[in-house]
Structure 1
Amino acid sequence: MPTSSRLVAGLCLALLAFVLSRQIMPLMPEGMNFGYFTHVNMGIGLLVGWIIVGSRAGRGTTTAINNGLTGAAALIFWGLFVQSCYEMVDQAMNNRYDGPLEAIVAIFGIATDYARMLLVPTVIGTALLGGAVSGLATEWTWRRWR
């Protein structure tokens, strides 16, 4: 059921995904083609905000902050998974893998490599602060427009 809190949660996490994507781009290897990187991450943020954060609104301030942090963690998890799958498919099209099982296992290796690149204080701080603010904004919206 569409609610204003779900919309605000989705928009907040889409904005957080945009900011995080812009912070992550300089950390990646030089010459990497990003294509729709930011757009895909913003779509993931919109879905995570709508489904996870927006549906849990209305439980109090502390829960709102925890809810926002959960949303930020889910955003990072699904972003890593989707981008790793895309990279695996790109490498598979260049005949880099001997079989489908090797390609599926490679997703986790690629995600681990990407996750190591994210272990920078600015990215972690932005995710924590953005998640908390998103949760609080969602809670405020739920209280304001039920």
Structure 2
Amino acid sequence: MINAKETEEALPCAGGCGLFGTRKNNNLCSLCYKQSVLQQFPPLRFEPETKPSLVCPPTNLPATSEEPVGIKRRCGMCQRKVGMLGFNCRCGHMFCGSHRYPEEHSCPFDYKHSGRLGLAKQLPLIRTEKLQRF
């Protein structure tokens, strides 16, 4: 048996897609509601600008994704050839399997700061009004 409350909430979607929406989602179906939320909040980027690393020697890699055939891909710390298995770090360098972790190559990228920036953009600041004393 269908409750009267369930039939009240089955309204046509306000987005005009032909599905049913709920009042909880502003009379939108789940697909249209998700699109409206994504339009309000742009996707997040977690990589803030960093300074060039003094610890990691610069590599001779071109800035484009297409590499010339003659240039070999090498680790930023030990200069070992990495081939297809190189690991790109957020500091902008490529490393072998031994030096791929930030602790192993003294990565200058500030993960804590980038996480805080991402959370600050993602979570709005909510403050209530001060209570007035009687």
Class of the TM-score when normalised by the shorter of the 2 chains: 0.3 to 0.5
Q: Larger C-alpha radius of gyration, 1 or 2? A: 2
Relative CO higher for 1 or 2, CA cutoff 8 Å, sep ≥ 6?
A: 1
Task: Give the structure with the higher percent strand.
Answer: 2
